[in-house]
């Protein structure tokens, strides 16, 4: 029986706008996800708008806003992130559940607009900081290592409206000021920091705050995020010498659809477009092939004199990533980082995501071969419909199977391939609102939250069968996981 190394951390992950709620409490400002409606697998979420002529409108959450339109809230629309699954009012109870499972780590994001309501203030909102003081102290009391995502795909609405989000360099300064506030407040308490979530997959007004979503705007915005990340790492190391910094990348594998050389090369190029972001942030420079991508997409990055130096001097200490699925590409594929074609050898989840545990071992090996930095799987999990039985039980053997099979591959990558992966946080350890569809019925958790797609329900927490199973996984440090090369 093999187990994870003693120092391997097991736990769960969430993001504030999917979990925290309390959108108008404690002085929190509006942020970019507050305007998203709920949706479904066939109709993705929309951003509610006031159009140029004053009338109401909506736009798909990853599309450009129509000219002159601005995000706007309406009383008769349901916005899932406002309440989410209400961590705001369940801090002790939920951390108690984490502790009962034996969590060694909890990855969560801080809501930027709870700390700087507009993003542009000189002084932070003390009440917002007090909320996270409570969360962090409660975690530490329960021996759970906090891992903080500074920015999980969101920014204060004021920065989107006034500066066009990350297309403006001014937002770099706002981000660094916000990060510095967190470092000064949580030094000595928080060691692991993630500067951005899925930086290689962000897109749309809600995630980067830009009104337009063309390639030029997008890559320029991401360049600003690269610089902001490096500046935060410099400050973070200075304020907290023991700290370790990562950025999170969406790295679901991309395989060639056939062994036709053109398909192999096409898949390689697609993968590289995704790894481009890791190359810049882990190796500290724009790689040579950037020129080809930028020429093809007609991108001209405007840089300031010191930008490249910042990126070079302050690369990542570790690489964290999400892995949910794999995908295939051939010479005709047109998808752009997200999406992709379906592998005929793999089964799909009810939301159409191919399930591929071995792809995770492949990915861990690929990343370590390429970067030689410690790795952390900060998101992985299964979105499924769960049934709450009359006696309060939930029999989610499909989730146990999914998480077991992925953990088995991580264990193989560590114990057989000697890849230094130092932890795993299961995504949505408690049910949260889905990022892409805004649904509640797409559930990931070990803990069920009584709430439906319209935000109705008691918010009561119920332990699923997977809760008790994961408790045993942690207790045995992974020994009870089966599969992989036993």
Stretch near ligand BG6 under the rule CB under 6 A, chosen from 119-127, 401-409, 431-439, 459-467: 431-439
The DSSP bridge partners found for residue 336 are: 338
Tell which positions 248-287 bind ligand BG6, by CB under 6 A.
Answer: 250
Tell which positions 181-240 bind ligand BG6, by CB under 6 A.
Answer: 197-198
> Measured from the CB atom, is 42 or 76 closer to ligand BG6?
42
- Per CB under 6 A, does 15 bind ligand BG6? yes
> Measured from the CB atom, is 442 or 461 closer to ligand BG6?
442
> Measured from the CB atom, is 198 or 279 closer to ligand BG6?
198
Residues 6+ apart with CB under 8 A from 111: 16, 17, 20, 28, 31, 128, 154
Minimum CB–partner distance for residue 93 and ligand BG6 (Å)? 22
- Per CB under 6 A, does 435 bind ligand BG6? yes
> Measured from the CB atom, is 255 or 427 closer to ligand BG6?
427
Q: Are 320 and 248 in contact (CB under 8 A)?
A: yes
User: In angstroms, how far is CA 292 from the centroid of its own chain?
Assistant: 28
- How far apart, in whole angstroms, are the C-alpha atoms of residue 445 and residue 431? 4
User: Is 379 in the active site?
Assistant: yes
Out of 436, 441, 465, 483, point to the residue binding ligand BG6 (CB under 6 A): 436
Out of 211, 442, 461, 463, point to the residue binding ligand BG6 (CB under 6 A): 442
> Measured from the CB atom, is 367 or 378 closer to ligand BG6?
378
CA distances from 160 to 31, 38, 171, 231, 279 (A): 9, 21, 9, 21, 28
- Per CB under 6 A, does 333 bind ligand BG6? no
How is 162-214 classified by DSSP, letter by letter?
Answer: HH-GGGSTHHHHHHHHHHHHHHHHHTTT--EEES-SSTTT--SHHHH--S--S
> Measured from the CB atom, is 15 or 275 closer to ligand BG6?
15
- How far apart, in whole angstroms, are the C-alpha atoms of residue 194 and residue 14? 13
Tell which positions 446-475 bind ligand BG6, by CB under 6 A.
Answer: none
The single-letter DSSP state of residue 42 is S
> Measured from the CB atom, is 250 or 364 closer to ligand BG6?
250
Minimum CB–partner distance for residue 428 and ligand BG6 (Å)? 6
Minimum CB–partner distance for residue 276 and ligand BG6 (Å)? 18
Cα distance from N-terminal residue to C-terminal residue, the chain:
7
Tokens coding 53: 């002529």
Q: Which of 154, 198, 253, 439 is catalytic?
A: 198
Of all residues in the shown chain, the one whose CB is closest to ligand BG6 is: 436
CA distances from 463 to 56, 247, 310, 391, 467 (A): 41, 31, 46, 11, 6
Residues 6+ apart with CB under 8 A from 15: 108, 109, 149, 152, 153, 197, 432, 435
With tokens 């928080």, the residue in question is 190
Minimum CB–partner distance for residue 382 and ligand BG6 (Å)? 10
Out of 16, 145, 164, 379, point to the residue binding ligand BG6 (CB under 6 A): 379
Query: Which helix (H) or strand (E) is 250 found in, with range?
Result: strand 244-250
Tell which positions 89-148 bind ligand BG6, by CB under 6 A.
Answer: none
Minimum CB–partner distance for residue 344 and ligand BG6 (Å)? 23
Out of 46, 167, 229, 434, point to the residue binding ligand BG6 (CB under 6 A): 434
Q: Which of 36, 138, 145, 379 is catalytic?
A: 379
Binding-site residue total for ligand BG6 (CB under 6 A)?
14
- How far apart, in whole angstroms, are the C-alpha atoms of residue 27 and residue 131? 11
Minimum CB–partner distance for residue 101 and ligand BG6 (Å)? 20
55-68 residues labelled b (16+ CB within 10 A) or e (exposed): eebbbebbebbeee
- How far apart, in whole angstroms, are the C-alpha atoms of residue 55 and residue 348? 41
- The set of long-range contacts for 440-446, using a CB threshold of 8 Å and a minimum separation of 24, is 440/80, 440/85, 441/385, 442/351, 442/383, 442/384, 442/385, 443/383, 443/384, 443/385, 443/386, 444/381, 444/382, 444/383, 444/384, 444/399, 446/12, 446/101, 446/399, 446/470
Tell which positions 304-323 bind ligand BG6, by CB under 6 A.
Answer: 322
Would you give the binding string for ligand BG6 spanning residues 380-399, x where CB under 6 A is met? ---x----------------
- How far apart, in whole angstroms, are the C-alpha atoms of residue 120 and residue 18? 24
- Per CB under 6 A, does 427 bind ligand BG6? yes
User: Is 127 in the active site?
Assistant: no
Stretch near ligand BG6 under the rule CB under 6 A, chosen from 169-177, 233-241, 305-313, 432-440: 432-440
- Per CB under 6 A, does 39 bind ligand BG6? no
> Measured from the CB atom, is 200 or 230 closer to ligand BG6?
200
> Measured from the CB atom, is 18 or 243 closer to ligand BG6?
18
Binding site for ligand BG6 (CB under 6 A): 15, 18, 197-198, 250, 322, 379, 383, 427, 434-437, 442
**Residues annotated as catalytic (active site), given as ranges:** 198, 379
């Amino acid at each position: 029986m093999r187990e994870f190394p003693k120092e391997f951390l097991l736990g769960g992950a969430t993001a504030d706008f999917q979990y925290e709620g309390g959108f108008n409490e404690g002085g929190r400002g509006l942020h970019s996800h507050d305007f998203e409606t709920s949706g479904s697998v066939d109709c993705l979420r929309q951003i509610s708008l006031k159009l140029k002529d004053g009338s109401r409108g909506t736009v798909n959450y990853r599309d450009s806003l129509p000219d002159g339109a601005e995000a706007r809230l309406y009383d008769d629309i349901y916005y899932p992130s406002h309440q989410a699954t209400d961590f705001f009012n369940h801090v002790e109870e939920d951390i108690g559940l984490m502790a009962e499972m034996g969590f060694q780590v909890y990855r969560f994001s801080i809501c930027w607009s709870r700390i700087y309501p507009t993003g542009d203030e000189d002084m932070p909102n003390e009440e917002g900081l007090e909320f996270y003081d409570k969360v962090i102290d409660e975690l530490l009391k329960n021996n759970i290592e906090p891992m903080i995502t500074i920015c999980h795909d969101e920014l204060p609405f004021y920065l989107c409206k006034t500066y066009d989000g990350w297309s403006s360099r001014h937002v770099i300064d706002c981000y660094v000021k916000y990060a510095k506030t967190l470092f000064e407040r949580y030094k000595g308490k928080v060691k692991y920091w993630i500067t951005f979530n899925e930086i290689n997959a962000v897109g749309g007004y809600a995630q980067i705050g830009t009104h337009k979503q063309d390639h030029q705007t997008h890559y320029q915005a991401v360049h600003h995020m690269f610089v902001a990340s490096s500046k935060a790492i410099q400050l973070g190391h200075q304020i907290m010498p023991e700290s370790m910094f990562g950025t999170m990348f969406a790295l679901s594998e991309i395989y060639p659809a056939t062994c036709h050389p053109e398909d192999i090369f096409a898949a390689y190029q697609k993968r590289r477009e995704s790894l481009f972001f890791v190359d810049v942030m882990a190796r500290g420079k724009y790689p040579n092939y950037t020129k080809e991508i930028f020429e093809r997409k007609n991108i001209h990055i405007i840089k300031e004199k010191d930008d490249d130096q910042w990126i070079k001097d302050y690369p990542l200490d570790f690489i964290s990533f999400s892995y949910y699925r794999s995908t295939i590409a051939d010479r005709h594929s047109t998808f752009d980082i997200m999406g992709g074609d379906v592998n005929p050898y793999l089964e799909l989840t009810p939301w159409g995501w191919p399930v591929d545990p071995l792809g995770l071992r492949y990915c861990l090996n690929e990343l370590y071969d390429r970067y030689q930095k410690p790795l952390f799987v900060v998101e992985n999990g299964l979105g499924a419909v769960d049934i709450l039985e009359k006696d309060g039980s939930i029999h989610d053997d499909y989730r146990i199977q999914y998480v077991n099979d992925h953990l088995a591959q991580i264990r193989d990558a560590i114990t057989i391939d000697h890849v230094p992966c130092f932890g795993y946080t299961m995504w949505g350890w408690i049910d949260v609102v889905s990022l892409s569809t805004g649904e509640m019925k797409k559930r990931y958790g070990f803990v069920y939250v009584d709430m439906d797609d319209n935000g109705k329900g008691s918010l009561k927490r119920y332990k699923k069968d997977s809760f008790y199973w994961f408790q045993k996984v942690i207790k045995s440090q992974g020994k009870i996981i089966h599969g992989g090369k036993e």
